[in-house]
Structure 1
Amino acid sequence: MTQIRSDPSVALAPPLRPFRQEDADTVARLNDMASGGILLTVWKRLAGTNGDPWEHGRLQQFEQIESGWNIVVLDQGSGVEAVMMGQPHGAEPASLEGVDAEWVPLMELENLVPEAWCLNVIATLPAYRGLGHGARLMAQAQSMARAGGHSRIALVVSDASTPAIRLYERSGLREMARRPMFKGDWEGPGQDWVLMVKSL
């Protein structure tokens, strides 16, 4: 099984902790919620008629850690309530060759902010919303970005995700650019992906 690593540059104080193997199912569901269902659409495509799309989701969490993502969960003792996922970007833009069409506009936006710390996911289970989990994880993401020497933090969000946009604006992020969504066989909410950025 994948060795779970955590970023040593920023200490995590309870209720925050690093991702563990047993978190994969809940984190996959949170990741899909944050994507507006686009991930489940892709996982269903990968699984085919008889496969389990959620198994693809669970495995993807370990693949993301292997590729350099940081995954921090909020756990007050009874399991994952919320998650934050992010990664530093390199100086060179990511190649779009072979990328599924749904992801192209998101990657085009992320390529506008080389060397930023990219916040890929902040999501809270419905039962725990309104408790400040998103703000706590947003602050953690900014601490990790600063500790890594990044001069800005960036994220991409659906224009339909009004509560998330309000959280990001309260944290100091501002819209920099947007791209139309590619829907394909995905029927998620929104029309545009919005790039939001904050200088640190």
Structure 2
Amino acid sequence: MVTQVVPKFGWTSNGAEQSHSYLLPATLRLLERHHVGSLLDIGTGNGSNLPAWLSGTERVAAMEPDEEGFSFAREYADADVRKIAVGEEIPADWRHAFEAIVCLEVVEHLFNPADLVKTARQTLKKDGIIIISTPYHGYLKNLALAVADKWDHHHHPTKTGGHIKFWTRNSLSQLFVSEGFREIHFEGVGRLPYLWKSMIMVFQID
């Protein structure tokens, strides 16, 4: 049984997220660098990032469990959008079908992050990659948050569908490397070095 974090995340439109301003340019550079022709967007939300993937990728699919998010995402008819959660059964035509996965700001919402690795293994082709982003945590940023008394604002515990996991480079790498992936890229995005808003990591099936 798959446990959802919340029944509804609260999508009200297909408008872009503020984080897209620093996540999408870096992700598109990585997709171009790896010459990706087929892509699965895991946790596409309201689908507002789908036009970016469709602009340079031959085959684009996406999965989203939230009913409202799914309804907005499926408006992009050129993408194969399906209402599926991480950890649920993967359709036969998606198994080992994609050269890359994009998973932006999703892993911090998952009760069982190992389900994400399982889904990646089931959907990626041989030598496929997963590009994953999540809010950055490291010593200097954590210290700055503490000094500025911003921990409550950073964790936003009262927000519906908020973050329940907080990742460092080492912990996210351990999640994937322990399951047969290898880390091939790391970068911080948004704000000053080591105070980054998010980190982007790329893992390849070993």
TM-score range relative to shorter protein? 0.3 to 0.5
Could you state the TM-score of these two structures normalised by the residue count of structure 2?
Answer: 0.37
**TM-score, scaled to structure 1:** 0.38
* Structure (1/2) with the larger helix percentage: 1
